[in-house]
Amino acid sequence: MSDTTRTPPGWYTAPDGSGRLQWWNGTAWTDHYAAPSEPAPYASAPSGSALSASSGSAAEERAPEGAPVHTVWIWLIVLLPLVGLIGVSLIDWPGYAALIVASPGDPLVVYRALLSPGYLVLLAIGWLCTAASILFAWLDWRRLLRAGVPRPFSWAWILLALAGVGSAVYSIGRSVVVRRRTGRGIAPMWVTIAVLAAGLLTGLGIAGLIVSAALGSAPGYTVD
């Protein structure tokens, strides 16, 4: 490669003079090779130049055979929300509901309830998990790129977690793109959906607990 800072990832003529195609990951040559006669996502081109689409068509970009699709980073991203679910147990939800019922005319009661130690710990856990997810997404994206996966799902999508969207956009989008490039790697998407379902069920359970505690604390309310 004559210009390693501008040549995009792709199949290029190997610099060893063998005539084979070798995968350039955008930074360095990898150990993945293909014969010139084998189907490749790009046609052969002189060393140092970008490759055009094979036969002039917009063929689907494919990663080298056997390229790794699962990294420790994507699994950490997928499972980190479970840490937040564990932190939910630190909050005294019945006490939170009772405080609101006891001060119906106080507009600041909600904020005083949320400033409990348990909630502050949960908030800190959430921010730490978000920061860790951003770092893990970048490491995961870089690992896929170095493994020869062309144009993996951008790690920048994880930044939506800062807006409260969570990391599901990255893990699901990443799984879909990796599946297109390799035919494998969809498992993180299904695990993400399962974690989202667990979060939804936990939220419904907390809502039911708060309503039950609030009704139990209301004057004149009795349970038959």
Q: Encode the chain in three state secondary structure.
A: CCCCCCCCCEEEECCCCCCCEEEECCCCEEEEEECCCCCCCECCCCCCCCCCEHHHCCCCCCCCCCCCCCCHHHHHHHHHHHHHHHHHCCCCHHHHHHHHHHCCCCCCHHHHHHCCHHHHHHHHHHHHHHHHHHHHHHHHHHHHHHCCCCCCCCHHHHHHHHHCCCCHHHHHHHHHHHHHHHCCCCHHHHHHHHHHHHHHHHHHHHHHHHHHHHHHHCCCCCCC
Please report the sign of the dihedral spanned by the C-alpha atoms of residue 205, residue 209, residue 215, residue 216.
positive
Convert the pLDDT of each residue in 63-77 to its tens digit: 887 888 999 999 999
Q: Which residue has the tokens 């689409």?
A: 53
For the chain, give every domain's residue range.
10-56, 72-217
Starting at the edge strand found earlier in the chain, the sheet holding 29-34 runs 10-13, 21-24, 29-34
Question: For the ranges 109-113, 131-135, 186-190, which has the lowest average pLDDT?
Answer: 109-113
Convert the pLDDT of each residue in 28-87 to its tens digit: 888 777 776 554 544 333 334 333 333 333 345 788 878 889 999 999 999 988 887 776
Structure tokens at 6: 């501008």
Residue 3 has pLDDT above 80, yes or no: no
Residue of 158, 167, 164 lying closest to 138 (CA atoms) = 158
Structure tokens at 212: 């039950």
pLDDT band at 192 (very low <50, low <70, confident <90, very high): very high
